[in-house]
Every structure is written in structure tokens, then in C-alpha cells.
Amino acid sequence: MDNRTDLSNAQIPPMKRDGMFQRLFGNRNKLAVYTVEQNQNPWKMVLHIFARNRVSKWAGILLFTIVVLVFFGTMLRPVGIGYTEGTQLNLPPSRDYMAAPDDLLRNLYKIENGRSFGVGIDCSGEVFIWGDTRINNKVDIRNVPENLPPLVDISVGDDHVLGRTDAGMLIAWGNDRQRQSHVPWELENIESAQIEAGYQTSAVVDVDGNTHLFGNIKNIDYVQQHKWQGQIEQIAMSVDGVIGLTFDGRLVYLGQQPNFYSRVPEGRFVDVAASAKAFAAVREDGEIIVWGNLSYKGEGRVPEHTSPAVQVDGGRYHFTALLEDGSVIAWGDNTYKQSIVPAWLDGKTVKYLSSDYYQNYALTEDNEFIAWGLKGYLFGSDDFGRDIFIRLLYGGRMTITIAAIAVMIASIIGVVIGGLSGYFGGIIDYLLQRFSEAVASLPLLPFAMMLNVIVGSALTPAQRVYLMMAILGLLSWPDVQRLVRAQVMNVREKEYVLAARAMGVGEMHIMIRYMVPSVLSTVFVSMAEIFVCLILTESSISFLGLGIPLPIPTWGNMLHGANQSIVIQSYWWRWIFVSIALSISVISIRLIGDGLCDAIHLKKREDRRR
């Protein structure tokens, strides 16, 4: 006797489609009860129905993508907690910091990078500018002086450009706040050997070996009347120091204070370059010597090189050097992979190399061009110069982890208390219910905020993360508890529980095998709801600056600055992407919870539709 009926060919009533939402995401498929019967395992059945509900299926896929991105994306690039970069503040989303135009590359003469833009000149003296050139509301690097004659040399600083015309005239444009773009009249027609634009400063070396600086020279340790005037062939400028290379190959410090810079290495040198805080020079024998404020970023760790170096160039926190055999080495800060020489260059002979900030450009003998380093910030950068995309990933990981652990805590407490309360009833039930009501009557948001401030003020940032999980978990279990209790009370009275008891099954066994499975579905649905609630609560508290402290990123405290009108108006990228990520996650989880609820309570759903 085989009682099973094959319903695999059962007809499903055709879908009715209406409304834009349904057309976009599909309708909730109508399921006749008998199509469900062919599924065997109740859990499989729930999954089956869940997968048929297209809205929640897509929500599930979306959430899964977000979780994968957030948890695995963070492995791509580590982020230092205390990372700040003064030259990279509030940059809008862009990927073309290194997008040198083809017209330039065909006939490249010189190429240099500023904080977020690039400038190049070709052999005919035409100027090309690309990248994010807007310095502030008034200044844009693209606004070159009118009737700009062809240039024979350029140098790009942090936010200004210095150029020399064919006729030997100096021209500067860009940010002029420190008068770094304002060429003094006595220098305008000087016969210059080298022009150098730095951080808020410009410098000129004339053919007689004299150096001239203008701009914010108070910020830089430099004396105009230094004893090597008339002997300087080349200079290199860091943010706050100037090193000169004399005609006879000696390195000299052009400031007066003894510091890391002033301990210049002895010997005869051929080239010198500067990063923000350090100098590198190439000795006669091709050895590279680095000195200055060598940070943990590794400017001092020159890689082994067999071929002698001939030229050295410096970026923001890294150096590159061109070797005699035409290969390139790079070392120093590698946040944006600017110190990894592309494998593409292996075996090729480089004839021109230029490094600035986080970008490097190289031109080979065969006129092939390559650029590497920071392309730009996908979602912009924030007020500390941090990449918002990376912070979004880290923040998402933190937010989701906090909410997930808090949900775990809440469900465990809820299941235990609801289970005890429902199973034993009587005085235990009474006491636990009153306790639960007391907890439920505490307003979640204000109370969590208060606890965070009172308890959290004595803790380290990492401890405050745990505190947040605990507070949220400990305040949100009553909902779970109430559902579990109702379900346990319902199941406890079922005949099959009595039957199991009559069969001699122990109480503990009944709890685990009869109560838990029936309670699980309820718990899952309520977990989804609480998860959403907790993500929003945590974000609200952190947004107000009372939750997870900066610089640990969460989606909430990334929005912290967005309560200022300047951020809302000018720096839209600082809040819009976070808000979108937060909304998508929350809506997805909601829809998943809804789909699960429908799948579990199929009967109820059919009734509702009628």
C-alpha cells in the first residue's frame, strides 16, 4: 500500500501581475497547499517556499552580497585605526587621478602629480590636466592663466602648479592662499635651472646656483642667506625642510636648526629627492641613502638592488628609483600599492620615471607608458583623508557584527526565559513575565545611550564595542521571550508531547526534541526583526557620537559629521553612500524576515490573501 501521491506535475495557478513593484521583482507566487505536501522535510519546505518568494529571494541575495563584501572585502586592504592624511581631505568620488590623456602620452615631456590631480606637458609645451582638480570653491587647477604660452618645464605642488615658459618666464597658478602661486617680480624672468613646487611653497634654483623660495616659507626651515648660495645645482623639498645638492656633489641642508634633515650623509651624490618627511639621495656609486623623519611606513627600507641607481624620486611617503639597467624599485608606504612596481615593467627599460603623492608614472624606451598607485577614491574620502569605501566595508563589518552578536545574546536569553516561563508556568512564569515587562518598558534608545555614556566613559574603544553588544542584547530579549513562551505553551499542551511523556521520554529530551524545533521558526523570524532594530539603534547612538567612538568605523559614526550643513551641502559623498548601505541592509533583512514568516506560516498567509 503506497499512500504517497505523485503531485510533481501539479498545476500552479498562473501569477497575477500588477503594480511596478511586482513587475520589477515579481509577484509572490501563489502556492496551493498540495504543492507543499510533496516537499518532505518541513525545513526544506520552508526554504522551498522562501525561494519561490522572489522579493525575499532577491533581498537574501542582496544581503548575502553585502555580508560577503563587508567580511571579505576588508581583507583586501587593511586600514590603520589612526590613519590620517592631511592632503587627502574630503575628496569627491573619482577614479581618474592617473588618467593621463593619450594626446599627452604620445609626446610626453614631463608629468607630475598633485594631491589629487595630474599635470603634464608634451614636447610642444602644451599643458594637460586631469584628475580631481577642484581645490576649493574658488580655485580649480584647470583654470590655467589666460594665454598660457608653451611651457618647457613644470612642477606640481600640493595644490598649485609652477611652470616655465620658453622665454624663461615663471608662471604659477592654483591655490594662492600662502602666496605660493604668486611669483615675486624679481624672480619672474630669472634664468632658472630648476623649479620646484612643494607643499604650500615654491622654489627656484637659478643657473648661478642660487636658491629662492616663496610661499609659506615660515613653515619650512630655510634661510635665504645660507652659506651655499651660488653653489647649488639642485634642491629637494620635503614638507618642512630643503636639501641642496652642490655643483661638486655634496648634500647640504639649507636650514639652520639641527634636526633629522640636517644630518646629511657624507660623500658625492648625483641625485636627491624628498618625500613628505624624508630625503633620499643617490651616491656616485649608485647606492641610495635615505635620511630624515623615517616613519613606520618604511621610507628607510631600501630594497636590495644589484644594478646601481641613477635617479630617485619621492612621493608622499614612498620613494622610487631608476636603476642603471632601466629597471625600477620602489619602497615606503604601500597603502594604495604605490610601492609595488607592476610586474608589467619586468624586463623593460624605463627611461623616464616620476613619482608624486600616491602616484607613479613610468615611460619605457619603447614609449610604452604605465601608471600605478592611487587611482582615486571610489566613494571619496572623509575629513581625515580616509577612503570612505574601505571605511564603509570596515564599518559594515563592525555594525553587522555588533547587531548579530547582540541578536544572539537576545535570542539566547529570550529562548531560555521564554522556554522556562512557558514550560513550567505558575509562579516561575509570573515572576519571569513581570521581570520581562520591566525590561521591555525601558525605552531602548535613550536607555542604551545613557548606559553607553555612563559605563562607557571609563572604557577603551574596543571595550565599548563589547559594551554596545551587551547593552543592545540585554535590552531587546523581551520580544523573543514573549513569542517563545506563547509557542512553548501551545506545544506543551499538544497530544504528542503527552504521548512522548507516556512513552517514558525524559523531560530534558522533550524540551530539546519537541520544544526547540517548534520554537526555532518563531525565533528566526523575530531574530530578523530584532536584527534590523538593533542595526538602526546602534547606528543612531553612534551617529549621535555616544556609541562606538571614532576612529573605529561603524555605519552610524561614519554619519557623525553629517549633522553639519557643510557636509550635507558640499561633501555629499560622506553621507550618501553610508546611508544607502544602511538602508539596503535594513530593507533586505526586513524582507527576508517577512519571507521567512510567510514561508513558516504558510496557512496563515493563504488566509490573509483571501
Partner 1 sequence: MPLLEVKNLHTNYLTRRGVVQAVYDVSFSLKRGRTLGIVGEAGSGKTTSVLSILQLLDKNGRIDSGEIWFDGEEITKMDQEQMRQIRGNDISFIFQGLPMSLNPVFTVEEQVCEPFLVHQNMSKAEAENKVTEMLSLVNIADPESVKKLYPHQLSEGMRQRIMIAMAFACEPKLLIADEPTSSLDVTIQAQILTLIKDLKSQANTSILLTTPDIGVIHEMADDVLVMNNGFAVEEAPVEIVFGDDGVFSHPYTEELLKLPGLDAPAGACFRMGYASSLHRNRLHAGCVFTSRCQYATDRCREVEPEWTEVEKNHRVRCFYPRKGVRSNGR
Site string for partner 1, 299-338 (x = CB under 8 A): ----------------------------------------
When the beta carbons of 584 and 602 are compared against partner 1, the nearer one is 602
In contact, 283 and 245? CB cutoff 8 Å: no
**DSSP string over 441-489:** TS-HHHHHHHHHHHHHTTS-HHHHHHHHHHHHHHHSHHHHHHHHHHHHH
Site string for partner 1, 404-443 (x = CB under 8 A): ---------------------xx-----------------
Note the Cα 107 to chain centre separation in Å. 36
In contact, 393 and 406? CB cutoff 8 Å: no
When the beta carbons of 11 and 40 are compared against partner 1, the nearer one is 40
> In the complex, what is the shortest distance from the CB of residue 602 to partner 1, in angstroms, rounded to a whole number?
12
Q: Which stretch binds partner 1 (CB under 8 A): 144-152, 455-463, 504-512, 569-577?
A: 504-512
Give the footprint of partner 1 on residues 234-293 (CB under 8 A): none
SS3 of 413-435: the string is HHHHHHHHHHHHCHHHHHHHHHH
> In the complex, what is the shortest distance from the CB of residue 396 to partner 1, in angstroms, rounded to a whole number?
36
> In the complex, what is the shortest distance from the CB of residue 518 to partner 1, in angstroms, rounded to a whole number?
7
> In the complex, what is the shortest distance from the CB of residue 1 to partner 1, in angstroms, rounded to a whole number?
4
> In the complex, what is the shortest distance from the CB of residue 43 to partner 1, in angstroms, rounded to a whole number?
9
Among 167, 504, 609, 610, binds partner 1 (CB under 8 A): 504
Q: Which stretch binds partner 1 (CB under 8 A): 120-128, 144-152, 455-463, 497-505?
A: 497-505
**Cα separation, 443 vs 448, whole angstroms:** 8
Pairing of strands 359-364, 350-356: antiparallel
> In the complex, what is the shortest distance from the CB of residue 486 to partner 1, in angstroms, rounded to a whole number?
18
When the beta carbons of 2 and 346 are compared against partner 1, the nearer one is 2
When the beta carbons of 38 and 334 are compared against partner 1, the nearer one is 38
* b/e sequence 311-349, b meaning 16+ C-beta within 10 Å: bbbbbbbbbbbbbeebbbbbbbbbbbebbebeeebeebe
> In the complex, what is the shortest distance from the CB of residue 523 to partner 1, in angstroms, rounded to a whole number?
14
Among 77, 250, 501, 590, binds partner 1 (CB under 8 A): 501
Among 68, 499, 512, 580, binds partner 1 (CB under 8 A): 499
Give the footprint of partner 1 on residues 467-496 (CB under 8 A): 494-496
Residue 8 is a binding residue for partner 1 (CB under 8 A):
no
When the beta carbons of 366 and 507 are compared against partner 1, the nearer one is 507
Q: Which stretch binds partner 1 (CB under 8 A): 217-225, 268-276, 391-399, 511-519?
A: 511-519
User: Which of 335, 342, 359 shows the shortest CA–CA distance to 117?
Assistant: 359
For the record, the C-alpha cell of 461 comes out as 574603544
> In the complex, what is the shortest distance from the CB of residue 41 to partner 1, in angstroms, rounded to a whole number?
8
Strands (DSSP E) contained in 75-227 are 108-113, 117-122, 127-131, 151-156, 160-165, 170-174, 192-197, 201-206, 211-215
For the record, the C-alpha cell of 409 comes out as 545574546
> In the complex, what is the shortest distance from the CB of residue 498 to partner 1, in angstroms, rounded to a whole number?
7
Q: How many other CB atoms are found less than 10 A from the CB of residue 75?
A: 8
Give the footprint of partner 1 on residues 33-92 (CB under 8 A): 37, 40-42
When the beta carbons of 171 and 488 are compared against partner 1, the nearer one is 488
List, in order, residues 6 or more apart from 456 with CB less than 8 Å away. Answer: 464, 467, 546
Residue 503 is a binding residue for partner 1 (CB under 8 A):
yes
Q: Which stretch binds partner 1 (CB under 8 A): 254-262, 412-420, 451-459, 509-517?
A: 509-517
Among 145, 149, 303, 517, binds partner 1 (CB under 8 A): 517
When the beta carbons of 40 and 457 are compared against partner 1, the nearer one is 40
> In the complex, what is the shortest distance from the CB of residue 40 to partner 1, in angstroms, rounded to a whole number?
7
CA atoms within 13 A on the CB side of 599: 26
In contact, 404 and 398? CB cutoff 8 Å: no
Q: Which H or E element spans position 510?
A: helix 507-510
When the beta carbons of 217 and 415 are compared against partner 1, the nearer one is 415
3-class secondary structure, 101: coil
When the beta carbons of 3 and 565 are compared against partner 1, the nearer one is 3
> In the complex, what is the shortest distance from the CB of residue 422 to partner 1, in angstroms, rounded to a whole number?
13
List, in order, residues 6 or more apart from 151 with CB less than 8 Å away. Answer: 121, 125, 127, 163, 164, 165, 166, 171
Pairing of strands 127-131, 242-246: unpaired
Q: How far is CA 184 from CA 209, 226, 230, 441, in A?
A: 18, 20, 20, 72
Among 2, 6, 186, 607, binds partner 1 (CB under 8 A): 2
* b/e sequence 57-73, b meaning 16+ C-beta within 10 Å: bbbbebbeebbebbeeb
CA angle 528, 531, 534 (to 5 degrees): 155
User: Which of 154, 114, 107 shows the shortest CA–CA distance to 131?
Assistant: 114
Q: What letter represents residue 192's amino acid?
A: S
Strands (DSSP E) contained in 336-399 are 350-356, 359-364, 369-373
Among 80, 506, 512, 580, binds partner 1 (CB under 8 A): 506
Size of the residue set binding partner 1 (CB under 8 A):
28
Site string for partner 1, 141-160 (x = CB under 8 A): --------------------
- The phi-psi region of residue 487 (left if phi > 0; otherwise alpha if psi is between -120 and 50; otherwise beta) is alpha
> In the complex, what is the shortest distance from the CB of residue 36 to partner 1, in angstroms, rounded to a whole number?
10
When the beta carbons of 209 and 425 are compared against partner 1, the nearer one is 425
> In the complex, what is the shortest distance from the CB of residue 434 to partner 1, in angstroms, rounded to a whole number?
20
When the beta carbons of 258 and 504 are compared against partner 1, the nearer one is 504
When the beta carbons of 343 and 502 are compared against partner 1, the nearer one is 502
Q: How far is CA 300 from CA 42, 83, 236, 285, in A?
A: 64, 20, 17, 19
Residue 502 is a binding residue for partner 1 (CB under 8 A):
yes
Site residues for partner 1 per CB under 8 A? 1-4, 37, 40-42, 425-426, 494-496, 498-507, 509, 513-514, 517-518
